[in-house]
Amino acid sequence: MMDKEPGDEAVQKQVEKLQNYITDNFYTCTYKILAYLGKMYAGGGSMTENVDKAGGKGTAEFVEKAIEIYCTGK
């Protein structure tokens, strides 16, 4: 997905799937919670390292931006 812009429709659909997955399997993932998760992903430390390890360098920041766009429409 990182070959697309964070606001691309395909990327935004994946963010929606993430939100639904969290809601269906863990807890109700509101837009506010999802936005905070995005900030955590790119906030540094082990969370950022793990996200980047799974998706490649820069993934955490990309996901944070995609989530921000999804949650705020910006």
Which structural domain range is residue 67 located in? 9-72
Q: What is the 3-state secondary structure (H, E, C) of 32-45?
A: HHHHHHHHHHCCCH
Q: Look at residue 4 and tell me if it is in a domain.
A: no
Q: Look at residue 29 and tell me if it is in a domain.
A: yes
Q: Look at residue 67 and tell me if it is in a domain.
A: yes
Q: Look at residue 35 and tell me if it is in a domain.
A: yes
In the 8-state DSSP scheme, what is residue 56? -
Q: Look at residue 1 and tell me if it is in a domain.
A: no
Q: Look at residue 15 and tell me if it is in a domain.
A: yes
Tokens in use for 13?
Answer: 């659909």
Q: Look at residue 20 and tell me if it is in a domain.
A: yes
Q: Look at residue 38 and tell me if it is in a domain.
A: yes
- Side chain identity at residue 4, one-letter code: K
Q: pLDDT of the chain along its 74 residues, tens only?
A: 999 999 999 999 999 999 999 999 999 999 999 999 999 999 999 999 999 999 999 999 999 999 999 999 86
State how many domains the chain has.
Answer: 1
